[in-house]
A and B are shown apart, each in its own frame.
Chain A
């Protein structure tokens, strides 16, 4: 199983640039994960929502389950909430 469970987040696949909140994460929370380090939640991450664990430049893919789930419509810093305000899907609509 490639999935990694940390104290407050779940990282589904090593390629992912987002992780899932296991419970609501208040802003300022320190989130240790893997060896590569730690991130600080920049804002409230609601239960089951995604937090960026790496910088995602504007226009580049957002990766969950090791697969592309959409692209960033603006640059996303580590620790930010990743949702419909900064990510857009690319399927099932005119490109």
Chain B
């Protein structure tokens, strides 16, 4: 199945056409917000980080911000820095420029304060919007699609309805040559043997086991029980009893394909087919890692109800049960609860999600986009100093 998308200089294809005003550091957030408020067709992506970070932690934040800018859903980027931060704006801008798209960079301390930077930024943003409004959607092949599969606010139906159905979708897209990124390492604990069994080679198998062990050890080393936070209180209320039960349902979203590679947080896949990304079970952090890895669309299952979106990618919400679908219909795009009631099969809903992915790729807005949900959170792996 083909779709209509925006072809980028690096050969990638976007399903959206955003102009992003990106702070490299939290101190630049309000300047970015002010520019985005003034220039229609732009979005700012405020975040909390970029300063007083070290080594691998600073690199992960930089990789995330650069990855968001490189994402094919983004037409052009204006990066704004303060001037004294570790994750500086010239570095982020040059990493984004590797993709060949228009990128500009402003430094508040060099331009001379907020109003001057806002004024200068507005001028640049206006030009970027004019540029971005020119291209039309063109026919693209499904192998250009990267679909992130995510679950949040799971219940005990997740593993029976929406997640296996999304697994069918994943298998269909992989068959068409596309890529699926399965994330949330915490929610692989207790199900990692099923993924490891499907690894394409020994190296991938070992990396799957390594990222799961690493995540589990982070809690054990602190003497803490992951089960106090994941499953979350709402998961327990929804009938999930243990982390293993949640994980076994969670990994079904990836389908049944071979695991081709394992990515670090916010890393871009180098292989087609099913790949894993090491992200935490925090939905906003996980989705942010996925979009930084080049995911154009997220398919997100929920049993308790979750409205989460993303600044640059459409998020398709799939309800695991019909009571939730009725109650939070304003936030839900597809009801997989019909599987529980016996009205539809897992295969039928999987095919329905697959068709919806292509409709959304062609431009149909998801509920998360219509409501302006733009949740964004960068996963930290070190303290601030």
**Count of CB-CB pairs between chains A and B under 8 Å:** 100
Q: Is the CB of A93 within 8 A of B190?
A: no
Does B34 sit within 8 A of A, measured CB to CB?
no
B355 to chain A, nearest CB (A): 21
- Point out the residue from A10, A20, A70 that lies within 8 Å of B242, measured CB to CB: A70
Give CA–CA (A64, B342) in the complex, Å. Answer: 20
Interface status of A69 (Cβ within 8 A of chain B): yes
B239 A48 Cβ-Cβ under 8 A: yes
Whether, in the assembled complex, A22 has its beta carbon less than 8 Å from a beta carbon of chain B, the answer is yes
Interface string of B320-357 (1 = CB under 8 A from A): 01010000000000000000111000100000000000
Neighbouring A residues of B239 by C-beta, 8 Å: 20, 46-50, 83
For A1, list chain B residues within 8 Å (CB): 346
Picked from B223, B243, B340, the residue with its CB within 8 Å of the CB of A94 is B223
B181 within 8 A of A: no
B244 adjacent to A69 (CB under 8 Å): yes
Query: Which B233-262 residues have C-beta < 8 A from chain A?
Result: 236, 238-239, 241-245, 248-249
**Contact present for A69 and B245 (CB under 8 Å):** yes
Taking CB atoms, residues of chain A closer than 8 Å to B216 are 91-92
8 closest Cβ pairs, A-B complex: A89-B242, A92-B226, A93-B225, A69-B245, A48-B239, A48-B156, A70-B242, A49-B239
B residues engaging A (CB < 8 A)?
155-157, 159-160, 186, 189-191, 194, 216, 219-220, 223-227, 230, 236, 238-239, 241-245, 248-249, 303, 321, 323, 340-342, 346
**A interface, CB within 8 angstroms of B:** 1, 3, 5, 10, 12, 20, 22, 46-50, 62, 64-65, 67-70, 82-84, 87-94
